[in-house]
C-alpha cells in the first residue's frame, strides 16, 4: 500500500530548462499503437470471404458503429466519419484493456529464478501470502532485469492521454462545424443559441450572456469528455489495487478485474466514442 499512487518521473534538460515528465503513459501509448499496427497488418493479409472468429469480431464492431454513426449523422456525412469513430473506439478499448495482460517479463524472470534456485543458485524467496511472492537475487545474474520490468498500465489512466483524445475530438468537431456552416454562421451560432438574435441586433452579441455561456460550454465539453474517461479508468484501477492489497492473503479478486477491467473498459470506450458522434451531430 505504500506504493499506491507512486509515479515514476523522468527529468531532462532542454534549452537550459529542466523538464520533468511521467514516461509511463507515453511508453504505453506507443505500445498500444504498435500493437494495433501489428494487428492491422496481420488482419489485412488474412482477410477471408468466409471470416474466422477474429475477423467476425472486427466486422461486428465495425458494422455496429457504422450503423450508429450513419443513423446519427445521416447518409451524407456519416460514412466519412465511420473510420475515425471505429479507430477511436478500438484505440480506447485496447488502451483500457492493456493493463489486464500479465507482465510476461516478470513471469519469465520468476520462472528462470526458480529453476536457478532449484539448481543451487543464491536466490532468496519471500512468501507474503498465497498471491504474493518476492524473489531477491544478485544483480550479477543476467535475468535480474526481467524481475524489475514494470507492469503494463492503461495509458487512459493518465489525464494527459484522455485530454489529448478529447482535444482531437474537439478539433475535428469544430473543423466540421466551420466547414459545414461557414465561418460566419459558425461564430454566430454561439450568439443565436438558444435565442436567435435577428437583424441588426447581432452587432450587440457581446451583450448576450448566452454567447459567453456557449463559449464556456464548448470548453466544458472537452473537460467533461476527457475527465469522464480518466475518472472511471483511474478509479477502477485504484479500487483493484486497494482491494488486491487488502485481500492478498485470502483470495485473488478476479471479479474486480472482470468488472473494472473488461466491462467498465468496454463501456467507457463506447461512451467516449458515442459522445464524439453526438458532438459532431450538434454541428450539423
Residue 171 or 143, more confident: 171
- Quote the radius of gyration of the chain (alpha carbons, Å): 25
**pTM of structure:** 0.79
Residue 199 has pLDDT above 70, yes or no: no
Among 86-95, 152-161, 188-197, the range of highest mean pLDDT: 86-95
Residue 25 has pLDDT above 60, yes or no: yes
Round to whole Å and give the CA distance between 282 and 222: 14
Query: Comparing 28-37, 111-120, 183-192, 223-232, which segment has the lowest mean pLDDT?
Result: 111-120
Amino acid at each position: 500500500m505504500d506504493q499506491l499512487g507512486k509515479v515514476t518521473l523522468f527529468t531532462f534538460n532542454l534549452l537550459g530548462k529542466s523538464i520533468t515528465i511521467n514516461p509511463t503513459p507515453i511508453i504505453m501509448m506507443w505500445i498500444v499503437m504498435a500493437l494495433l499496427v501489428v494487428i492491422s497488418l496481420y488482419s489485412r493479409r488474412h482477410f477471408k470471404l468466409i471470416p474466422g472468429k477474429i475477423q467476425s469480431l472486427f466486422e461486428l464492431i465495425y458494422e455496429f458503429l457504422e450503423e450508429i454513426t450513419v443513423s446519427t449523422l445521416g447518409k451524407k456525412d456519416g460514412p466519412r466519419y465511420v473510420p475515425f469513430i471505429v479507430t477511436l473506439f478500438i484505440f480506447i478499448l485496447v488502451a483500457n484493456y492493456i493493463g489486464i495482460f500479465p507482465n510476461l517479463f516478470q513471469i519469465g524472470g520468476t520462472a528462470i529464478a526458480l529453476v536457478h534456485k532449484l539448481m543451487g543458485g543464491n536466490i532468496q524467496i519471500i512468501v507474503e501470502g498465497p498471491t504474493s511472492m518476492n524473489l531477491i537475487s544478485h544483480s550479477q545474474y543476467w535475468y535480474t532485469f526481467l524481475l524489475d520490468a514494470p507492469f503494463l498500465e492503461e495509458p487512459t489512466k493518465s489525464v494527459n492521454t484522455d485530454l489529448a483524445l478529447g482535444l482531437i475530438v474537439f478539433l475535428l468537431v469544430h473543423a466540421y462545424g466551420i466547414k459545414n456552416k461557414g465561418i460566419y454562421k459558425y461564430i454566430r451560432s454561439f450568439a443565436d443559441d438558444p435565442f436567435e438574435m435577428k437583424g441588426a441586433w447581432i452587432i450587440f452579441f457581446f451583450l448576450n450572456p448566452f454567447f459567453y455561456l456557449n463559449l464556456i460550454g464548448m470548453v466544458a465539453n472537452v473537460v467533461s469528455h476527457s475527465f469522464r474517461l480518466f475518472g472511471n479508468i483511474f478509479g477502477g484501477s485504484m479500487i483493484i489495487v486497494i482491494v488486491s492489497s487488502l485481500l492478498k492473503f485470502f483470495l485473488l479478486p478476479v471479479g474486480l478485474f472482470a468488472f473494472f477491467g473488461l466491462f467498465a473498459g468496454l463501456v467507457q470506450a463506447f461512451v467516449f466514442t458515442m459522445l464524439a458522434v453526438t458532438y459532431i451531430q450538434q454541428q450539423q
